[in-house]
Every structure is written in structure tokens, then in C-alpha cells.
Structure 1
């Protein structure tokens, strides 16, 4: 493959590597540090992606090598609840959470997953299924949904309930979200970006975080790459529209482990 073509494909895959890294660490800054280290490794030696089925798989394969080498350390910013969450995550089956994210959120096939993690197809499937069970058994909580489309809101309610969580309410506007969120404090906020009255889900979330303090947030958007530029504060947890049930289930399970997250600012 020509260098220009490789650079283009790596560039297109980089926003999704950032998303994966942030979900893995629960932090924009820590996730971006890992993504930057991966990009530096690829730029320093283009041959690290040679042999991979696609440049994107090669990029994630390089990331995984760095991740496992560093032992997924707890950083200085991981204090209090976040540090406790990381300790809990460390008790999960090795590589299971990574496998679940790669398969459900990033939509790699089991074959590609095995290539990235250097495991066989059968082991890749076992890791994904193990993660699903371990994450489902971990905890339950209260979830506020901010979504203006009724059918999508109902679908999200069903997924949340099936995971064993309780929906505190569904808001269609910024003001409605603040009213519901301050009436009953949620453990997790699941929010669309564009709301019914043209208000912003980002603004609604930031209003709530100012009132309630830090808590995990998952944003839903049809254009995730626009929110993963690295130029400003961005979400640690992000899923794309149209989404699959598995993507939402995985994102909720991952986010529930973290009691704080960095979010977009207006």
C-alpha cells in the first residue's frame, strides 16, 4: 500500500481509536495520551501495521500492544471513585473488557478482534461473552435518558431495564432534563446531542453536572467523528446513530464503572 493511502486510512481510523481509548480509560485526557502514543509508534515505524488485514486493524493492534505493556496503570487524575473503579476493573478477566469494546462499540469482527489481541477465534468469542456476563453482574443504578425521539427513547428504556438499571425519566428538552435530573439524581446520564426544541443535549448535561457533580455520561450522535477531534473537551463515552443494542448495552456497562467523566462544553 502506498504511504499516502496508508496515512489516509490511519487518519480516518484515528477518531475511532480515540473513542475506544477514552471508553477503556473513562477519561478523555488519558485515552488521548494512549492514542497519541500509538500514532507516534506508527509514524516512527510504518512497518508495525504491515501484515495486518487492514490499516485500521494494524492501528488498534499497535494500541493494544502499548496498552498491555503499560499494564493499564491508574494515573494521577484517577483519584477517589475513579481509582476505585479502576481497581474493580482490574479484577475482571484479563482482556475481556477490551474485547467487548472492540467487538460491540468499534464493531470489529471476532476474527479481527483475535488479530488485534493476538488470540484465536474461539478465545476471542469467550472473552466477549465473559465480559458481557461480568459487566452485567457488576452493578445496577439509576439512568436519566435525554432523547427527543419517542421510538428511540422507548428502545433505550427497554435496553436500560434489561440490564437491571432503573430509568428515572425521559427528557425531550434541555429544561426538561434539568428538571428531571434535579428531582431524582441519576447515576448515569444517556443523552442525545440535538433535542426537540433545538436545545443542546450537551448543554443539558453540563447544567446537570454543575448541579449534581461528576457522574458518567454517554452521548449519542449521528456524527461521532465531529466530537473526536482532540481540539476541546470531549466525551469519554460516545456511541453512534444508528446504534445497535449491543453497542448501547456495552457503553452503559462500561460507563457505570466510572463515577466521573469529562464532557463537551458549549
Structure 2
């Protein structure tokens, strides 16, 4: 399975990657801004997206909205700034930073189940 990690902090992106390996993901793309995230998703559709809300530059919410206009892709927001997400997209799954790997794994499995993808 292939994951798109939208995160502008490299260390956090690596922590997310490590957790997703435990969920069976075998390939990854990383994007630090919204434009790069959309380009990555156009070149290869991800089986899962993790996204931070606040990017420098841009917004993970805007990136996900641009990417997810087609078939459903499971999305987990991993952020320290949940207010904007709760206001704009209250139904998205949310994990607050700092996070434990076990919590990320659990919420990723839930996201996959919601869209009928194997966990």
C-alpha cells in the first residue's frame, strides 16, 4: 500500500512513516506544502493520506480537499492545530500532536476500515 504524508516537519514525517510501516504500507511520498501534495497524488493515487493542518506554506486541509474530489481516500489529520479542521471538516479523523505511535496505528486502521480498504 502507498501513503502520502503531508507534513512540513521532517522528523514528524519520519515518525509517521515508521508507524505506517507497521500498518502494512510499503511505499511513501512526502510533501511539505499543499502544492507538492496535490502533485504527488496526481502522479500516484495514495491508499492513505496523513496531513498536518498548518503547513509552511499552505494548508493540509486545502491539499486534501483538492486531492479527494475523486474516489474516497482515507485521511488522518495529525496536527497541533485542530481548530481549523474542526470548523471546516468536523468528520475527518484527527490525531493531536504530540502523538504515540500506537494511537496513530489505531486511527489509521479506523480510517482504512471506514473506506473499506484492508487494514
TM-score by length of structure 1 reads 0.41
Higher relative contact order (CA 8 A, sep 6+): 2
Task: Give the superposed CA RMSD.
Answer: 1.9
Counterpart for residue 188 of structure 1: 48
- In structure 2, what is the equivalent of residue 215 of structure 1? 73
SS in 1 for 2:114: coil
In structure 1, the gaps of 5 or more residues are 1-140, 261-266
Query: Which position in structure 2 is the counterpart of 1:169?
Result: 29
Q: Distance in 1 between matches of 2:9 and 2:101?
A: 16
Deviations 1:218-256 (A, max 9, x none): 11121436644xx65423311001111111010111111
Deviations along 1:181-235, one digit per CA (max 9) or x if unpaired, are 11111111110011122x000000000012x33221111121436644xx65423
Q: Considering fraction of residues, name the structure with more helix.
A: 1
1:12-40, Cα deviation, whole Å (9 max, x unpaired): xxxxxxxxxxxxxxxxxxxxxxxxxxxxx
Match of 2:96 among 240, 247, 251: 240
* Structure 2 spans left out of the alignment, 5+ residues: none
Deviations 1:83-103 (A, max 9, x none): xxxxxxxxxxxxxxxxxxxxx
Match of 2:59 among 182, 188, 200: 200
Larger Rg: 1
* CA distance 1:155–1:226, shift in 2 (3 Å): same
Any conservation in 2 of the 1:178–1:208 contact (CA below 8 Å)? yes
Tell whether the 8 Å contact from 1:146 to 1:172 is kept in structure 2 after alignment.
yes
| Corresponding residue for residue 224 of structure 1 | 82
Residue by residue over 1:53-105, the C-alpha shift from the partner in whole angstroms, topping out at 9 and shown as x without a partner, is xxxxxxxxxxxxxxxxxxxxxxxxxxxxxxxxxxxxxxxxxxxxxxxxxxxxx
How far apart are the structure 2 equivalents of 1:171 and 1:226? 20
CA contact (8 A) 1:190 1:219 kept: yes
| Aligned residue-pair number | 116
Cα pair distance change 1:206/1:253, threshold 3 Å: same
